[in-house]
Structure 1
Amino acid sequence: MTPLVDSHCHLNFEPLNTGLDDVLQRARDNGVTHMLCVSVTLETFPEISQLSHRNENIYASVGVHPNEKEGHEPSVKDLVDLAKDERVVAIGETGLDYYRDRGEMGWQQERFRNHIRAAKQSGKPLIIHSREASVDTIRIMRDEGAAEPGGVMHCFTESREVARQALDLNFYISFSGIVTFRNAEALREVARLVPSDRLLIETDAPYLAPVPYRGKTNEPAYVRHVAECLANIRDVHTESIAEITTRNFFTLFKHAGH
């Protein structure tokens, strides 16, 4: 069984954190050898750091999600300092989300810019979340030189044109369980076209469980279903998707050791 990597999950979130030993065992049983546990607030970053230091197959990121309004607002220095943790392989998740937040979005945009600046200073790639904000997301990525650290457009749901612009900026495209949903044909068309050397897979667990678990709690073991869906879309073997996406993960997140 070719190893799989879940490039984006939240193992510190309920209910995964209350049964983590079982979650990790099911991941191993499904060939998932490594996971990236992604930060959404600075307050919960210590939990993620501790998880990654206790488990050699779990890596960490540091960042504040665009929708988080409570808690500490990260400065560039905050992010750069925390990114010195040897288990931190990325900055994020960051980006823009105009679906949940309405009105004046300058605060989200400034936070996003600070994350890009921190990625450039730390030499660690970005994990970008973009929802109903693709024009501003791409514009700020260009403005701030996000191509320098590179990164991944996580849980990608945008158009082929947005994918092309992100690829031109040195970014990878990651597909989640959404690509398995019945109404996601347009997204599957994008998934057919992403170059093999820029393809990643993820769960975003505990959210967005793929078919046949849609509506249930997601977990890293289920990234196999995303790989199987992409294999079907791209008319290749699942083992090929596993090999490609695992190699891409360690190429992008170069601070992650095997």
Structure 2
Amino acid sequence: MNRRIFLKSILALSAGTGLCAIPDFTQAQEIARTVEESDLKDYLHRMENFDTPQPGDIILNKKERTLLKSSLNRLRRVQRTVGFGNFCVLSFDHALKFGRNYSSIGRFTKQEIEFLDKLFHFDAHEYGFYGEKPVEKLTASISRKDLIKIPRTGNFLYRGEPHKKYIEIRKELGRKVYLTSGVRGVAKQFILFLTKAEANAGNLSLASRSLAPPGYSYHGVGDFDVGEKGLGAANFSALFAETRTCTKLREHGYLQLRYPENNLLGVRFEPWHIKV
């Protein structure tokens, strides 16, 4: 089945199960009748094995992987230059500017810029990522006056509802819970997504099952991640769902998850991701 048709079908099915709502339920029911059981099983299999290459995955060719590596290395040099916290909220244009102004980084080449531009504007539905795109412009910037830096985390949150929700969580759960990832600009999302793709031979579909492609992350507009102190990297795994912290988040009503278990958005289960 064509990816786009399958997308419409699974969204229709999810509307009927309460996993993901779409506006026109009558239309959803009509589309749902067209989906084949095997297609849904295939989708669920992919998501159960999100970190494994799957038939039909979009994979960069050799030339593209070379550009991925050079672009990623340059972004990493920008990150080291400005600092990890500052890089989280750095715009793409400012990353290019740092490249032009610092010989230790080096100017982004025309080919690298074209590669990153193409990647940003590529329709992630083709990867199998069915989420919305809240950041539509590659050049989108984040105003520092709209942010609050969270002490001892190296992360920022937006003022207003995101910061308020985090403070409430800390008040209810105590110091055991902490902010693991806050606001992310386009440049930061590029590093995360490309790092995952590079580690998997340029497999963009596999990367998208764990990390939103640039522009598609709600970290750019308010969402954030929390973890339990002492858990380390396991805070970004299903193990977090088994922690006392996660249980208390659920009990206090904070787990209105962006990507719940068995979601039909092409994204693995993320019990640490707080929806704002």
TM-score normalised per structure 2: 0.27
Q: Which has the larger radius of gyration?
A: 2
Structure holding more strand per residue: 1
TM-score normalised per structure 1: 0.29
Structure holding more helix per residue: 2
